[in-house]
Structure 1
Amino acid sequence: MCGRFTQSYTWDEIHALFEVAGAARNLRPRYNIAPTTEVDAVVDRGQGREVASMRWGLVPAWWKKGLKEVPATFNARAETVASKPMFRDAFRRRRCIVPASGFFEWTDAAGGKQPHFFSAADGGVLAFAGLWDRWTDPASGDELLSCTVIVSGANGWMAPYHDRMPVLLGAADVAGWLSVEAGPEVLRPAAEAALREWPVSKRVNRPGADDDPALVEPVDLEPEAGALL
C-alpha cells in the first residue's frame, strides 16, 4: 500500500506542475508523513486549482459516527474505488492530487523492517491520484477536509518490495482527473522506469518521532549473518 510518504517541494514547482492559483506561499517540507496527519492536496473547487491542507484518511460526508471510529481510509484500491461505499461518492464528485517527493515501503531484514525510499526517476514531484471529501463533526460542528491516496497493483519492478503502489498520474491525466472526466482507466500501475529506490535509515519506522531530510538519504545495508563478503 502507501502508508508513509514525503512532501518536500517549492511553491514554484507545484505552480508549474499543476497550475495552481493564488499567491505564492511557503510549503513546509515533511519527510515522514503518516496517516491521519495533515497533507497538501491539489483540488479544484470551482474557482481554480488550489493547494489545500487535508487529513490523510478520508472521512466521507455521510459519516455519522465520531472521527475515532473511522476505519483505515488512507488508501483506496483502484479496482474498487468506484464502487466501495467509503469512496464511491468522492470518486464521482471530488478528486484531488496529492503531490509527493517520494514514498516508503519495507522489506524484512535482521533487526527489524528495512525501509526503502521511492522517488521519481528524474527527481521531480510525483502526482498521487487521490479523492477528497468535506465532513462535519456531528458533535462539535467543526468542518474537516480529508483525502485518500489511490493504490493499484504493483508493476514488475515494484513487486519485490510490495504488491501495491500509489497510482502516479502523468501530466496528460491531471486535467481529466481533477475535472472528474477521467475514469478508472487512468488508475494503472506506473511504468517500470518511473521510479528509483534506495534503502534509508530505520528511523523512518518511528512515525511522528523523526522528520528531517536525513531520513531520505541512502544508507548502506548491513550484510546478513552468514553472508559471504
Structure 2
Amino acid sequence: MCNEYERHIRWAEYCRMLDLSLGIPTRQSELDLPPSDDVRINKTAPVMREADDGIELVPMNFSFPPSGARGGPVFNFRSEGRQFDTTNRCLIPASAFVEFTGKKYPKTKHRFTLNGAPFMAIAGIWREGHGNHPPAFTKLTTAPGADMEPYHNRQIVVLRPEDWSAWLHLTKPEDELLRPLAAGGRVVQTVREGRA
C-alpha cells in the first residue's frame, strides 16, 4: 500500500490553493515546504493542520510507532467504520504518490497525480510525540475507486481542494469526504517496469 509519495510544490501555487479555502499562512515560507523526491516511512515531512490563526505547516514523522512488540509502523490507517471528530486531523501535501504492482523485485512503479490541480492533499491524522517518539502522522485509506482498482485493493484518501477545509473542520459528513475520487480524478503514469 502507499508507503511513498513525493512533494514538489511551488510555494506560489501552495499559497494560491490554500487561499481558496483555508487562507494563506502568514508566518511561513517555502522553507517550510521543502521538496522531496521520496517521502518514505519514518522520514520527516510537513503536514497542514489547524492553528490559532488559520493553517500551519508542521514537520512530523511519517508513520505512527508500532503499537505492539510484533507490529510495524502505521503509515496507512483504514477509515471505514471510524469517526474522526475527536482526532487530530491534517492534510498531507503531495505532488504525487506511488503504488507498486507485481510479485518480484523490482516491482512495477506507478505514479499518481491529481487531475486538474498542481498538487494534492491526502487526508491524514496526527498524534503528539511521546517519550523518544516525535509527533507523527499517517494517511487514511478507503476502498479503491475506478482509477485505483487495477493497481491495488485499497487506496489513500485524496481530497479535492474544495474539501480541504471541510476535513480539517469537519463541516461535511465524514463519509462524503473519506471516499475515492470519481473516475478520472487521477492521472497514472508507469515510471518503472518491473520483473515479469
Aligned residues: 189
TM-score w.r.t. the length of structure 2 is 0.83
CA distance in structure 1 between the partners assigned to 2:171 and 2:65 by the alignment: 23
| Mapped pair 1:160 → 2:161 | no
CA deviations 1:175-221 (Å, max 9, x no partner) are: 121124444211001111111111114xxxxxxxxxxxxxxxxxxx5
Cα separation, partners in 2 of 1:20 and 1:77, compared to 1, 3 Å: farther
Per the alignment, residue 150 of structure 1 pairs with 140
Which one of the candidate residues 183, 189, 195 is aligned to 1:198? 189
TM-score w.r.t. the length of structure 1 is 0.72
RMSD: 2.7
Per the alignment, residue 127 of structure 2 pairs with 133
Which runs of 4 or more aligned residues in structure 1 lie more than 4 Å from their structure 2 counterparts after TM superposition?
221-224
Amino acid at match of 1:157: D
Greater strand share, structure number: 2
Q: Is 2:65–2:73's contact at 8 Å kept on the other side of the alignment?
A: no
Amino acid at match of 1:15: C
| Mapped pair 1:9 → 2:9 | yes
Amino acid at match of 1:121: N
Gaps of 5+ in 2: none
Cα separation, partners in 2 of 1:31 and 1:134, compared to 1, 3 Å: same
**Identity, % of aligned pairs?**
24
Cα separation, partners in 2 of 1:70 and 1:45, compared to 1, 3 Å: farther
| Mapped pair 1:100 → 2:94 | yes
Give 3-state SS (helix, strand or coil) of 2:15's partner: helix
Amino acid at match of 1:12: A
Q: Could you say which structure has the larger radius of gyration?
A: 1
Per the alignment, residue 53 of structure 2 pairs with 47
Give 3-state SS (helix, strand or coil) of 1:128's partner: strand
Give 3-state SS (helix, strand or coil) of 2:42's partner: coil
Gaps of 5+ in 1: 83-87, 202-220, 225-229
